[in-house]
Structure 1
Amino acid sequence: MSTPHVVVVMGVAGTGKTTIGPLLAARLGVPYAEGDDFHPPANIAKMSAGTPLDDSDRWPWLDAIGGWAHGRAGLGGVVSSSALKRSYRDRLRAAAPDVVFVHLSGDRALIEDRMAHRQGHFMPTALLDSQFATLQPLEADEAGVAVGVDGTPEEIAERAVEALAALPEPAL
């Protein structure tokens, strides 16, 4: 990318947003913000109990992420956010129109296996079905790329950098 943009690393739980986001930010030379840190405590408690969030839970969280992205306009940054629905991405774009999305995607079995082996995260594997049911992949008119999550984190981050570099400049 020739100019600094805010990149939202998106995807269902377990795709590696928290792992790939900092690697991508380092490669792009911009700061990283962990999307989970923008959740209010009530959202964390709800997900920890195995209850999916509804839209009324997500709006303040998305607005907080959008505020961070807006503040990084022209400076660049990478932030993680599931951003599963088009309406969620639209809300982020309303706050920061130049955001670009990297959709981390992969086989459900691989993602479930990764979730089962991670430690210290509040999102239980039981919520993966609701995540996939909610997911609306990027549409053709959305600035962004899909990147497979097979391979090492470094390989995935490098593929994301290459895919972002291949985007036409007006999309950025």
Structure 2
Amino acid sequence: MTMLYRCCSLRRTACNERDTPKTTTRTGTAQAGPYVRWTKTALSPDEVSNVTTAKTAISALVVMGVSGCGKSVVGAEIALNSGGRLIEGDAFHPPANIEKMSAGTPLNDEDRAGWLTRLGEEVAAALRNGERPILTCSSLKLIYRERLREAVPGLGFVFLELSKEVATDRCAHRPGHFMPASLVDSQFATLEPPHGEPRTLVVDATQSVDTIGKQAAAWWKASLGN
């Protein structure tokens, strides 16, 4: 069962085979730029082009945030709106990481190091193949984001921002997910919000998935000068 299926309950409609984008799972194998905060009253998709230019073109996207923010379902929606390819970051965790999180133990920097390297390689390979990758990855710390940026020049980040209370409630209603709600506190303790970082879009994660997906896809398209 993929992350896309498990998170479908957050979508405005149920997922189905017809509208599900191509998704990569484990079974298959700082340049200046815009920072945009997008809330319920922020810029419209048409206005994004005024703050984003071709000089800050975004090559690929990372949908980031704490557990429960909706990374998988939003990533899928962005893929649908942009014609991109969804890469589920959680699918690349080694078994030891899964076991640790399932037991309620937070991952540390060492646990995440090899995982982040693997994700960077996967996104870079997708770009070489002419694809438009959208990676889901918590990317909680700046050093994690910098590791991904080193592997993928021009990488953009969509930060799904929400409160600890909302994240905890969402995680508590995800049966079968290896990440227990008890780890939400540790994720917020680790989180270094990417406010002010280049090629970064901050959105209110309590908006509808449809709204966020269209916002992010429009922002990405505008960065390419389209």
- Verify same fold: TM over 0.5: yes
1:98-141 deviations in Å (ceiling 9; x for gaps): 21100011122111111111122100111101100111111424
1:64 is aligned, of 115, 118, 129, to 118
TM-score (norm 1): 0.90
Letter in 2 for 1:70: A
- Please give the alpha-carbon distance, in whole angstroms, between the structure 2 residues aligned to 1:141 and 1:152: 25
TM-score (norm 2): 0.69
Between structure 1 and structure 2, the one with the greater Rg is 2
- SS of match in other structure, 1:72: helix
- SS of match in other structure, 1:147: strand
Q: Which runs of structure 2 are paired with 1:30-109 in the superposition (5 Å)?
A: 30-73=84-127, 75-109=131-165
1:26-75 deviations in Å (ceiling 9; x for gaps): 11101101100110010000000000001110001000110011112353
Letter in 1 for 2:63: V
Report if the CA contact (8 A) 2:101-2:180 is conserved.
Answer: yes
Report if the CA contact (8 A) 2:164-2:185 is conserved.
Answer: no
Between the two proteins, the alignment pairs up a number of residues equal to 169
Q: Which runs of structure 2 are paired with 1:10-21 in the superposition (5 Å)?
A: 10-21=64-75
Large movers: runs of 4+ above 4 Å: 1-4, 165-169
- Please give the alpha-carbon distance, in whole angstroms, between the structure 2 residues aligned to 1:139 and 1:157: 20
Report if the CA contact (8 A) 1:150-1:156 is conserved.
Answer: no
Q: Cα RMSD (Å) of the superposition?
A: 2.0
Q: How far 1:153 moved relative to its partner?
A: 1.7
Structure 2, unmatched stretches of 5+, are: 1-51
**Greater per-residue helix proportion:** 1
2:199 is aligned, of 143, 147, 157, to 143
Q: How far 1:89 moved relative to its partner?
A: 0.3
